[in-house]
């Protein structure tokens, strides 16, 4: 009896599996018959068109570079020069920074300021502590009021920021025919072209304006300045300053030195940032190599192993022969 019931349950399970397979095939065939290839192609084409259209609209709305001026108004594009300090593995030339500071003090400081730079920033970079203390004490800064409440002045300290040549903006405009000399602390970062633009501007004054160029009265022609009319006249001439290290003070040499100095005022941390960047690259690459080798050491046994499955051996029992009047033997447990 137990053997017969087991056979019946096995046949029932087989029939149920066959029925489920047939049902799955019918559902698959019905779903495939409902979605035609033409509809799928149309849907894929529409999705592709929407994707490309949205990308094109985004580029048209936000991807294009905006210019405040037309190329004619923006001026001549400056020539790209191979600045040594701009390379990844190079730093500022500290002798050039010292010469550039000298050019700024003797030529540029009469109109332009670098009010975002303190005197202490030069210590260890271009000058010694005693030199910067002496330069700072040459300037007078507002001090504490006296016993009667009157304002006083004091000699500058190394922690003070550099003074501007004019007391306020109105005084600067009055001394320069209405033009306001900008602060040069961040000028390299504030102008398109950076060092190339400032160098080309300082060395781009022609002897005479070219034929056909119209310059307003009180302005000077410079093809690199937007509009080609600039209030600042040419200020660098050969031999204008006498360098301490006896470097020939040509126009291009002075322009190169002061441009590198202005790049330093805009980015005084550039050398340290480059050093930190190389440290990060070395440490990150080392940790990455260690992680790759550790991953290989830990996971190679797991990924290279082979799993074999040995199914148990099953022997088919011979069919039972029953005769009338005999009962089958009970199944062995």
Question: If we measure between CA atoms, which residue out of 154, 165, 160 comes closest to residue 132?
Answer: 160
Instruction: Give the residue ranges of the annotated binding site for heme c.
Output: 108, 111-112, 232
- Residue 79 near residue 200 (C-beta atoms within 8 A): yes
Site of tokens 């190389």: 278
Using an 8 Å Cβ cutoff, are 117 and 161 in contact? Answer: yes
Cβ burial, residue 144 (10 Å; 0-12/13-18/19+): exposed
The span from the CA of 135 to the CA of 157, in Å, is 9
Annotated binding site: 108, 111-112, 232
What is the torsion angle, in degrees rounded to the nearest 10, for the CA atoms of residue 289, residue 292, residue 295 and residue 297? -70
Task: Give one DSSP letter per residue of 33-46, joined into a string.
Answer: HHS-HHHHHHHHHH
> Nearest 5°: phi and psi at 244?
-70, -35
In sequence order, which ranges of the chain are alpha helices (DSSP H)? 2-34, 37-58, 71-74, 94-103, 129-137, 169-175, 187-190, 195-203, 251-266, 270-303
**Cα–Cα distance between 51 and 123 in angstroms, integer?**
57
d(CA 31, CA 263): 69
Quote the CA–CA distance of 169 and 49 in Å, as a whole number: 56
């Amino acid at each position: 009896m137990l053997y017969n019931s087991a056979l019946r349950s096995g046949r029932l399970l087989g029939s149920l599996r066959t029925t489920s397979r047939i049902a799955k095939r019918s559902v698959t065939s019905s779903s495939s018959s409902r979605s035609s290839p033409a509809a799928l192609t149309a849907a894929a084409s529409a999705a592709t068109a929407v994707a490309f259209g949205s990308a094109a609209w985004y580029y048209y709305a936000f991807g294009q570079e905006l210019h405040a001026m037309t190329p004619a108004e923006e001026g001549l594009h400056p020539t790209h020069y191979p600045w040594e300090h701009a390379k990844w593995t190079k730093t500022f030339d500290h002798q050039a920074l010292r010469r550039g500071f000298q050019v700024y003090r003797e030529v540029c400081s009469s109109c332009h300021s670098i009010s975002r730079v303190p005197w202490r920033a030069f210590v260890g970079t271009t000058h010694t502590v005693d030199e910067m203390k002496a330069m700072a004490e040459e300037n007078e800064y507002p001090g504490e009021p006296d016993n009667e409440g009157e304002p006083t002045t004091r000699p500058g300290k190394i922690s003070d920021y550099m003074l501007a040549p004019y007391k306020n903006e109105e005084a600067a405009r009055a001394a320069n025919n209405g033009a306001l000399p900008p602060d040069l602390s961040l000028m390299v970062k504030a102008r398109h072209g950076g060092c190339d633009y400032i160098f080309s501007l300082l060395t781009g004054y022609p002897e005479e304006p070219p034929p056909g160029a119209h310059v307003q009265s009180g302005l000077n022609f410079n093809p690199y300045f937007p509009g080609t009319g600039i209030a600042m006249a040419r200020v660098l001439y050969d031999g204008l300053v006498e360098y301490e290290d006896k470097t020939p003070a040509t126009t291009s040499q002075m322009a190169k030195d002061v441009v590198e100095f202005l790049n330093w005022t805009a980015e005084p941390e550039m050398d340290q940032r480059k050093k930190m960047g190389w440290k990060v690259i070395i440490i990150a690459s080392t940790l990455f190599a260690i992680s790759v080798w550790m991953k290989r050491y830990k996971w190679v046994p797991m990924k290279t192993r082979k799993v074999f499955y040995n199914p148990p051996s099953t022997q088919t029992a011979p069919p039972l022969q029953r005769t009338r009047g005999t009962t089958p033997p009970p199944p062995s447990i």
